[in-house]
Amino acid sequence: MKPSTSPAGTRPAPGRLRGIVALLLQTLLVVAVALPAGVVIAPAFLGPDRPSKASQETPPWQQVPATLSAPGTGPGGLGPLAGTAPVPVGAALAARLNGTLKTDGGGTFTGIVQDAATGQVLFNRAADQARVPASNMKLLTASAALRVLGPDRRFSTRVVAGPTPGSVVLTGGGDVLLGAGESDPGAVLGRAGLATLARATVRALKDGAGGTGAGTGTIRVLLDDSLFSGPPLSPAWSPEDVAAGEMAPLYPLALNSARFDPAKTTGPRPQDAAMTAAATFAARLTDAAKAAGLSVAPGVARIAPGASPEPASAKVLAEVQSATVGEQVDLMLRTSDNYLAEVMGRMTARGTGRPGSGKDAIAAVLQQVRDMGVPTGALRAADVSGLALANQVSARQLTDVVRAMASGTDTRLRAALAGFPVAGLTGTLEDRYTDAASAAGAGLVRAKTGTLNTVIALSGYVVDADGRLLVFSFVGNGLTPGSANKAALDRSAAVLAGCGCH
| pLDDT confidence of residue 35 | 36
| pLDDT confidence of residue 209 | 59
| pLDDT confidence of residue 65 | 52
Question: Which domains occur in the chain, in start order?
Answer: 1-131+394-502 (3.40.710), 156-323 (no CATH)
Of 3-7, 469-473, 491-495, 498-502, the poorest mean pLDDT is in 3-7
Q: How many helices (H) and strands (E) does the chain have?
A: 12, 12
Q: Are strands 253-255 and 175-178 parallel, antiparallel or unpaired?
A: parallel
Could you give the strand order of the β-sheet that contains 316-321, starting from the edge strand earlier in sequence? 295-302, 218-224, 167-171, 156-161, 316-321
pLDDT band of residue 12 (cuts 50, 70, 90) is very low
Which one, of 260, 286, 287, 285, lies nearest residue 272 by Cα? Answer: 260
| pLDDT confidence of residue 361 | 98
Average pLDDT over residues 272-278: 98
This prediction has a pTM of: 0.86
Percent of the chain at pLDDT > 90 equals 75
Q: φ, ψ for residue 212 (rounded to 5)?
A: -75, -20
Question: Does pLDDT of 82 surpass 90?
Answer: no
| pLDDT confidence of residue 309 | 65
Amino acid sitting at position 264: K
Q: How many CB atoms lie within 10 A of CB 103?
A: 18
Give 306: exposed, middle or buried? Use CB within 10 Å, 0-12, 13-18, 19+. Answer: exposed
Of 27-41, 185-199, 406-420, the poorest mean pLDDT is in 27-41
Amino acid sitting at position 3: P
Taking only the tens place, the pLDDT of each residue in 352-406 is 999 999 999 999 999 999 999 999 989 999 999 999 999 999 999 999 999 999 9
Average pLDDT over residues 303-315: 73
Average pLDDT over residues 253-258: 98
| pLDDT confidence of residue 42 | 41
Which one, of 413, 437, 420, 418, lies nearest residue 489 by Cα? Answer: 437
Measure the CA–CA gap between 272 and 172, rounded to whole angstroms: 13
Which one, of 177, 395, 357, 358, lies nearest residue 277 by Cα? Answer: 177
Question: Does pLDDT of 483 surpass 80?
Answer: no
Residues noted as catalytic: 135, 138, 336
- The mean predicted confidence, pLDDT, of the chain is 86
Percent of the chain at pLDDT > 70 equals 80
Question: Does pLDDT of 10 surpass 50?
Answer: no
pLDDT band of residue 305 (cuts 50, 70, 90) is confident
Taking only the tens place, the pLDDT of each residue in 422-456 is 999 999 999 999 999 999 999 999 999 999 999 99
